[in-house]
């Protein structure tokens, strides 16, 4: 039975580690590849994904997310569907800058994609999906933050782990998220 992503539980995984992640550099929508550690960790999580009963998968078009999805799904017969709208937020002239310097810049002057535009693009991409449930979404930390806001999940803001699955599920009428 086909369901929209937000009609039942689903899983989310941030892409595997990249050299930019390791160095604390803003990747944005640059197509930065996985590091060897990112590949290895993604492959090691495949067994967990295989046991979750994932029935469909969607990913960002950026290679770090696409490749992670392929590694995570290697113990299943599922091929991830690429959704252009899941591409990470465009950070304009701030792509390639240390994350520690972000507060020193004016986002508008540096051509950073507005949060509202990024949020809308991400939600529209996922709302347009009808798929077997539960689905796996492989994308970016920005995507994870959009999901938290859209589903009104209030959790402590901390770094989203690379390659690691999170379960989004309903508890009563409220959405929750938990590490798998």
Active site residues: 15, 88
Q: Which is it for strands 56-59 and 81-82: parallel, antiparallel or unpaired?
A: parallel
Residue 162's alpha-carbon distances to 17, 68, 93, in angstroms, are 6, 9, 24
Q: Which is it for strands 10-14 and 130-132: parallel, antiparallel or unpaired?
A: unpaired
Q: Residues 29, 95: contact at Cβ < 8 Å?
A: yes
Nearest residue to 86 (alpha-carbon basis) of 179, 13, 157: 13
What's the token pair of residue 165? 């699955």
């Amino acid at each position: 039975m086909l369901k929209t992503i937000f009609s039942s539980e689903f899983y989310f995984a941030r892409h595997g580690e990249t050299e930019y992640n390791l160095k604390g550099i803003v990747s944005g929508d640059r197509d930065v590849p996985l590091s060897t550690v990112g590949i290895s960790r993604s492959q090691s999580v495949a067994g967990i994904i295989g046991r979750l009963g994932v029935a469909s998968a969607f990913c960002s078009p950026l290679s770090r997310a696409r490749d992670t999805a392929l590694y995570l799904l290697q113990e299943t017969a599922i091929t991830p569907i690429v959704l252009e709208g899941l591409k990470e937020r465009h950070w304009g002239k701030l792509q390639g800058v240390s994350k520690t310097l972000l507060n020193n810049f004016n986002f508008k002057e540096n051509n950073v994609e507005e949060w509202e535009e990024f949020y809308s693009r991400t939600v529209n991409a996922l709302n347009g999906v009808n798929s077997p449930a539960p689905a796996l979404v492989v994308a970016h930390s920005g995507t994870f933050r959009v999901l938290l806001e859209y589903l009104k999940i209030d959790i402590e803001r901390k770094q989203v782990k690379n390659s690691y699955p999170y379960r989004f599920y309903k508890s009563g009428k409220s959405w929750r998220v938990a590490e798998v």
